[in-house]
Structure 1
Amino acid sequence: MKFTKVLPLAALTTLSLALTGCGESTPASSSASSGIQVPDLPAATEVGEGEGQVNIVAWAGFVEDGSTNPDADWVSAFEKETGCQVNRKVGATSDEMVQLMRTGEYDLVSASGDASLRLIAGGDVAPINTELVPNFGNVVEGLKGQVYDTLNGKSYGVPIGRGANVLMYNTEEVAEAPDSWAPTWEEDSAYKGAVMAYDSPIYIADAALYLMATQPELGITNPYALDQEQLAAAVELLKQQNGIVGEYWNDALKAVSSISSGTAQMGTGWQVIVNLAQADGGKVESVLPKEGATGWSDTWMISAKSKNPNCAYQWMDWASSPEVNAKIAQNFGMAPANSLACEGSTKNEEHCESFHATDEEYYKNVWMWTTPVEQCIDGRTDVTCTNYQEWTKAWTEVKG
């Protein structure tokens, strides 16, 4: 079955910006100790009477009241049931969300992985008492206890959803379905000049991922933990790829057009782009290559200075319910976190099938985006890893 939902333009446009800094975990469902020192903050012990409002920083498409799209409204029923008025601020980037949360004016944030670690380490968000979020129990196992929202045995986030950065291809231009990223990296690729690559420093991780499989002697075990030598190897590969890339993209709508028309014959993309291309009649398919892929995820996090913690907890549970989580995931274009969001209707089932929502074997091969830091998150202590600033400089070098 092909998923044919049309994602709202506003959500898709914001998705292009939002995903420049999403997610971070190892492919396996694990809560490996990061060694990051974090403030010892208490979690709530109970949910009392609502304060009358809740202030949320979120990506477009996550907190909808029908004003953007009359068919997307899960805020009105929440306000009626709880008496908590929802005040939403749409965040454009993870950096902006961190800044907004540090003002102390917001109770909740839909944090991407790079933002979440900064917020945890900075003492800006408090641990979550998951017992006060009944719907947390139905969250898929692959999103529980991940390094980007779980530190020192404490959970700091309620998962919202996830997605993989797939290899998409135009079936009219690519005769045989690929099973590897190789045609997007090899200098003598048959698709030279028609390869599409993601335009962001975080894309360096995609090169590192391919090197993990093809040059094991480099010792890369986590694509977000690169020492200077490993980063140099990734940059060299990216420069080689630059010779076959016809288009670097960060505009999802443009990516839909390029892959549908065949201007781009194959390259890195998101499942929602593939779905939209198919809905428009494009001959486009996608695959998770044998080397694995990068990906992204988001979580609800509560401010350590929340003035409305009761309403905040009520929102986290409401938004994590099967019905609402399904709506958020379908509106935004991602796999829902609640496994029950895949039941109840053909629409839910088709959406979850398209995004591999409950397929943990699929996501075990996906390395969720993370901002690289000097402390090697692969466990090495004898070297210093490169940070995002160095990746940004390297990406400028790659693009020329």
Structure 2
Amino acid sequence: MRSITRTIRTVTALGALALAVACSGSTGGGSGSRSGFNPPKLEAQKAIGPGEGRLNLIAWAGYAENGSNDPKVDWVTPFQKQTGCQVNAKTAGTSDEMVSLIKTGEYDAVSASGDASLRLIASGDAAPVNTGLLTNYRDISPSQKMQKWNSVNGVAYGIPHGYGANLLAYRTDKVNPAPTSWSSVFAVDSPYAKHISAYDSPIYLADAAVYLMSAKPELGIKDPYALDQKQFDAAVALLKQQNRNIGEYWSDYLKAASALKSGNTVIGSSWQVVVNTAVGEGAPVATALPTEGATGWADTWMVYAKAQHPNCAYQWLNWITSPKVNAQVAEYFGEAPANQLACQQTTDKNFCTTYHAGDTAYWSRVHFWATPVPQCLDGRTDTTCVPYAQWVQAWTAIKG
């Protein structure tokens, strides 16, 4: 896997990044409907013409492998041979970095998570997609299509790729009994102080909010991405308290895996790919979905509104979500594939069961990343919620 330093790029021009404060947040009606949210009027592509010979991508690590890291892990080279579109992939470590990169105008498509996708839609950087041109769209899980993170007012802005939970990872030889609650990392007197890890991003505030939903029900948190000032202040206070016990804030998944392997980290929030890497190197590491639930990601391939190579971009969207390729990426990264037929193509025939693909009960406990906006995403109209710009500012203060 790539050795990638996932540097947080705190974006200073936060008007657009926080949905320009103009994004109205009530998720009423149906999936993807958003009262008062009126993104720029853009036309979806009408047809896929000849490829332009080049494709510039922004992707999460492991999403655009070309065999350079492992000769057996390569779904870019076959795509290039089939389409003539030469792929240049830039790996991003955070959603903030993805948003910053797409605004350079140098890229054609991006594998955006929910805490970036609505920002791209609201700012006019993401184009609506013509799902009729995407041959695999019909086989995408209904739980991932036309959701609040990848559609607005019945218009699709991409094709779902994969999804997963931000789990609690722990060393089985150091943590006993096996943890069942996030209290193991948030308690002020945690026995694992200085050996706790946390994801280095403002969106980690939502992890604190998920814990507080159960730990302090009197706060009334219903959606970890819709926090009024009192709720937000409680999440910030919790993370400032936790800061004293943190051994490492991680943004490079290989370094996070190395910390688990060495024992510098014995417990903390993690991605499955981190755990897979550590276990592959012999570390005794396991994961848990705590009783409080967890945050998670649902990634969507989106096309830049001013893409220089839109035909190659559409061909990539079709390719990366085809059953065989979607299965390859899912197994390599450690996530549930969006294409339901991919489960028939995995090397491990129990893979989709292990990763809970299509498991409605499991995913009902996962809060997929979303962009916090002033108009509360939980439907409240009698208060204002704290927008993402303030999450960024608070994160800087939390880390000190």
Which residue is 2:314 aligned to? Answer: 313
Which residue is 1:366 aligned to? Answer: 366
- Aligned-partner Cα distance in 2 for 1:93–1:243: 24
* Maintained 8 Å contact 2:206/2:295: yes
- Aligned-partner Cα distance in 2 for 1:380–1:94: 26
Which residue is 1:275 aligned to? Answer: 276
- Aligned-partner Cα distance in 1 for 2:196–2:104: 42
* Maintained 8 Å contact 2:185/2:267: yes
How many residue pairs are counted as aligned between the two chains?
384
How far residue 155 of structure 1 moved from its aligned partner, in angstroms, is 0.6
User: Any unmatched runs of 5+ in structure 2?
Assistant: 12-24
Which residue is 1:5 aligned to? Answer: none
TM-score, normalization by structure 2: 0.85
Which residue is 2:228 aligned to? Answer: 227
SS of 1:234's partner is: helix
User: CA-atom RMSD, angstroms?
Assistant: 2.9
How far residue 53 of structure 1 moved from its aligned partner, in angstroms, is 3.8
Counterpart code for 1:357: A
Which residue is 2:14 aligned to? Answer: none
User: Any unmatched runs of 5+ in structure 1?
Assistant: 1-7
Which residue is 1:352 aligned to? Answer: 352
How far residue 320 of structure 1 moved from its aligned partner, in angstroms, is 0.7
How far residue 95 of structure 1 moved from its aligned partner, in angstroms, is 4.2
Counterpart code for 1:46: A
Which residue is 1:74 aligned to? Answer: 75
* Maintained 8 Å contact 2:210/2:224: yes
* Maintained 8 Å contact 1:139/1:337: yes
Counterpart code for 1:388: Y
Q: 1:74 to 1:19 in 2, by over 3 A?
A: farther
* Maintained 8 Å contact 1:61/1:332: yes
CA offsets per residue over residues 140-169 of structure 1, 9 Å max, x none?
A: 232212212110001101111122111112
* Maintained 8 Å contact 2:59/2:91: yes
Which residue is 1:161 aligned to? Answer: 162
Which residue is 1:324 aligned to? Answer: 325
- Aligned-partner Cα distance in 2 for 1:89–1:264: 29
SS of 1:188's partner is: coil
Which residue is 1:137 aligned to? Answer: 138
Q: Larger deviation: 192-201 or 227-236?
A: 192-201
How far residue 46 of structure 1 moved from its aligned partner, in angstroms, is 3.1
How far residue 330 of structure 1 moved from its aligned partner, in angstroms, is 3.2
* Maintained 8 Å contact 2:193/2:245: yes
- Aligned-partner Cα distance in 2 for 1:119–1:345: 32
Which residue is 1:31 aligned to? Answer: 32
Which residue is 1:392 aligned to? Answer: 392
How far residue 72 of structure 1 moved from its aligned partner, in angstroms, is 2.8
- Aligned-partner Cα distance in 2 for 1:57–1:253: 19
TM-score, normalization by structure 1: 0.85
CA offsets per residue over residues 218-255 of structure 1, 9 Å max, x none?
A: 12111111111111111222233234434333332332
Counterpart code for 1:234: A
Identical columns (%): 54
SS of 1:268's partner is: strand
SS of 1:382's partner is: coil
Q: 1:31 to 1:19 in 2, by over 3 A?
A: farther
* Maintained 8 Å contact 1:278/1:284: yes
How far residue 103 of structure 1 moved from its aligned partner, in angstroms, is 4.8
Counterpart code for 1:393: Q
* Maintained 8 Å contact 2:331/2:346: no
Q: Larger deviation: 149-158 or 365-374?
A: 365-374
* Maintained 8 Å contact 1:34/1:147: no
Matching of residue 106 in structure 1 with residue 107 in structure 2? yes
- Aligned-partner Cα distance in 1 for 2:223–2:197: 24
